[in-house]
Amino acid sequence: MVRPPSARSAVPGVGRLGLLEPTAAASLRELAWDNIDSIPVLWALSRAPDADLALLTLTRLQAALGDDWSELDSTLRSDTALRGRLFALVGSSSAFADHLVADPAVWRILLRDKLPAREELIADLLAAVQAVPVESPHADAVLHRAEQSGPEAIPLLRKRYRDQLMLLAALDLAATVENEPVLPYQVVGRHLTDLADAALTAALAVAVARVCKDGPVPVRLAVIAMGKSGACELNYVSDVDVVFVAEPADAIATRLAAEMMSVGSAAFFEVDAALRPEGKAGALVRTLDSHIAYYKRWARTWEFQALLKARPMTGDLALGEQYRDALMSMVWTAAERPDFVADVQAMRRRVEDLVPADLRERELKLGHGSLRDVEFAVQLLQLVHGRVDETLHVQDTVEALTALAAGGYVGRDDAANLTASYEFLRLLEHRLQLQRLKRTHTLPAADDEEGMRWLARAAHIRPDGRQDAVGVLGTEIRRNAVRVRRLHAKLFYRPLLESVVKMDPDALRLSPDAAIRQLAALGYAAPENALGHLKALTGGVSRKGRIQALLLPTLLEWLGDTPNPDAGLLAYRRVSEGLDDQIWFLRELRDEGAIAQRLMIVLGSSEYLPDLLINAPDTIRMYADGPGGPLLLSPQPEDVARGILTAAARYDDPKRAVAAARSLRRHELARVASADLLGMLDVPQVCRALSAVWVAVLEAALRAVIRASEAELGTPAPADFAVIGMGRLGGLELGYGSDADVLFVCDPRPGADETRAVKWAIGIAEKVQRLLGSPSTDPPLQVDAGLRPEGRNGALVRTLAAYAAYYEQWAQPWEVQALLRAHQVAGDQDLGVRFLRTIDKVRYPEGGVSAEAVREIRRIKARVDAERLPRGANPATHTKLGRGGLADIEWTVQLMQLRYAHDVRALHNTSTLQSLDVIEQTKLLAVEDVSLLREAWIAATKARNALVLVRGKPADQLPGPGRLLSAVARVAGWPNDDGSEFLDNYMRVTRRAKAVVERVFGG
């Protein structure tokens, strides 16, 4: 029939309907929907999340139904509820589209407007395999035997399970197309759990038929749901975690459990028993007593956390309840375990490390601001407070949040907001899984506009007048992720602060005992002291106290992830009190997130830095990021040195000049140590910066003392004066705990009396040592001249001629070796260079060092190895004198220099690392050997520096496994806080380097 033009124009075209496929118009004609009577159907189709997929599925359904299509077509025109369910379903899920086409008559299931009850689901799945009850002396046993138990059972069960899952999905999605009720998140999760229980009840029935073909089942077998299944908050597509308890735990029980898992995994979803005692290495089935014994003696913290969700799901339910009753008392005392905090923090970091960095912003389950953040926080608070509050003994995450809010453990508004974000993220997770019925938690990529558009429509996201649906979805994802991250901190710390300062008049307050429990669970070894610090920081009614109360939830979360939150909180209190009159401090922390986070990391990781920061607070401003990167990296060592010299030159009084130099040194030490601890500098950069500031302070002190002496004498100085750096100072490779080894050299000026000139020079050297070594709150400045001729018995200062005569006649092999690192660092540059030229013929002898000298060096090295190591030190982990440590590497390099520097000019170098580069380039040692030596030197230097940063004082011995070692590992840049891994790696690196050292020293 030819339609009048008016009718034709009223029918929306494919463009208005959002149909993009070229065949869309033909498909509508084929369905006879291109007419005015079909307009409501067409507009409903246009609202499907993927209208093209929905239309394609409907044409496939028409072909599959044949003559029966008319019934479906007629019902779709009259029943808006069915229309909403069907169009939403086939526009959201290609998997369910295929399921419908494979058995088109199943569309009638979608006529149902209510979800079946748990009992109906169990009966339906059991009927699929014609299962009948098995006689059992235990009334609570849910045990059946399937008549259909061969290979045909799998497709029968899969089909029935998919039918039921399809009905739930259709009811869940219908509101996206028609004005249908929205299924609450908890209803969806509980129904999915009921369906999983029914599915595994049917799988157990098949297992019974296969293992116990006739008669009663001779064992009791309880199937315990764990994880999301145990908490009744399953996803559409998820592993179902189970644990088996049997009496007796014999071969029959094991076969029943294994068959049930096999059938369930083939027909429904992956059935995973990895949460059982000892994991996949443990027995699949255990008796109740065996479970109890394991959890009493061997279980780790995460296993008790997993038990929070334990729920008897099928099989012998009475035995399952006995299991739960026996173990839950242990769950609620898990927070008292000595390793509870460390275990919880390590587990959280391991979970985060599972997510590749490029997926963290797209990962709904494990990323930043993700579902796991919410679940982890809620479970931790349950474990902490559930021992004394039975209202927290719930399994569902949303119910647990409600209970925590009711008990005052979290703020009511925070709980409500967190619940909303959690349910939004779970909604997105469900929609992503429905698309292909695949287990996924990953959002479409940012450039996948079609994927994001589909997800927005499937999640019922609509344009808001400013943005289209995709824009609104992106905004909501970001908003909820940020809200979860923000509330994750507040969840733990806002109630703590409410307990010490009333931030919200309507808020429930934690009792002192609850606050102490919570602080202990967050990693504070002395929670009473921590509570005192919080009271001091937020005390009074001042504006600063209120700002602290707003800042502290986030600051405390960052502190809680550091090696020593107790010391960090105390240090933060000290810094805050020291800067009480500085308006900028709290403002910077409030407005610059990078400053606040970096400050907490530093304070909770280092005992070296807090005093420096208290005395050099402006360094904290440098924790911000500038246009070119972190401000901590902006100063260059040469600019810092120039500033120190300029500042000191303003004062005639040497004490004031040295004080000015020390003040700038303090700032520079704080800057370098902060950048190092935050992972912004590598080892050579740290060594260069520390050496540069030492040299500058030494130069500033020397100039000030000479300037004052000349003013006092009224005449120019009687001698030129130079300071020669030795050891690590000479190599410009100082660490935080290094002294400055030096030689003082003078040269009388023309006409000056030599005795008077030397006496004057000794006075200058002593005064420099005294001024720099005077007590101070800063790290010490010890100027050590112990490497001078005749050691501490020799003259503190010698003339250039005296040095030349001594080294020519009396130099011992160890003294020649020490001269390899001599370098001009301060004072008269020309004199310093003349000194170096004088000693070059001694330290780089023509033809190389003699065989006798090499033997003597080897003898001294053997004596050092045998005698110099401190009593009680571990030779495997002493960074300086231990196996493959700094001394080993440096002696090896120096022996190579003594042997070959006369021939290889580039070995005239005081730096160990640079000399290793030359040795590699000239092939004096194999590339592999040099790499091992270099790696060991860097590892030992990094570990030694980390020891100082963590402990606040010089140290060479790495500690044994424990909290201190974990802190050193973190500060040394180890990727996790497993100190044992760090120690194993250190010993492996140094052991391999020691093999090279022994080979070189062995000739």
- β-sheet bridge partners, residue 629: 626
Which parts of 147-239 are beta strand (E)? Answer: 220-225
Residue 343: its pLDDT value, please? 74
**Gap between the Cα atoms of 234 and 240, Å rounded:** 8
CA-closest candidate to residue 733, choices 662, 860, 820: 820
pLDDT at 345: 66
One-letter amino acid for residue 928 of the chain: E
Q: What are phi and psi of 244, to 5 degrees?
A: -110, 135
Closest-CA residue to 425 (of 379, 384, 374, 467): 374
| Alpha-carbon gap, residue 703 to 826, rounded angstroms | 9
Q: What is the DSSP letter of 363?
A: B
* Distance in angstroms (rounded) separating the CA atoms of residues 651 and 705: 11
Residue 96, pLDDT score: 97
CA-based torsion, 516, 521, 527, 531: positive or negative: negative
* Beta-ladder partners of 625: 630
CB 38 within 8 A of CB 77: yes
Q: Which residues pair with 823 in a beta bridge?
A: 725
What phi-psi label fits residue 791: left (phi over 0), alpha (psi between -120 and 50 degrees) or beta? Answer: left
Q: Give residue 560's pLDDT.
A: 82
Does residue 151 have a cis bond before it (omega within 30 degrees)?
no
Distance of CA 14 to the CA centre of its chain: 50
Write the CA distances from 177 to 84, 534, 579, integer angstroms. 5, 52, 60
- Residue showing tokens 């067409």: 42
Q: What is the pLDDT of residue 1?
A: 42
CB 201 within 8 A of CB 314: yes
Count of CB atoms situated within 10 Å of the CB of 954: 15
- Residue 25 burial (10 A CB sphere; 0-12, 13-18, 19+): middle
Q: Are 131 and 205 in contact (CB under 8 A)?
A: yes
Query: What residues in the chain have per-residue pLDDT under 70?
Result: 1-9, 137, 139-140, 341-342, 345-346, 348-355, 357-358, 489-490, 492, 494, 496-498, 500-509, 540-542, 1003
- Phi, psi (degrees; rounded to nearest 5) at 665: -60, -40
Reference 985, options 995, 998, 975; nearest CA is 975
Q: Does residue 309 contact residue 227 with C-beta atoms inside 8 Å?
A: yes
Report yes or no: 721 and 706 within 8 Å, Cβ to Cβ: yes
- For 510-522, what is each residue's pLDDT tens digit? 788 888 888 887 7
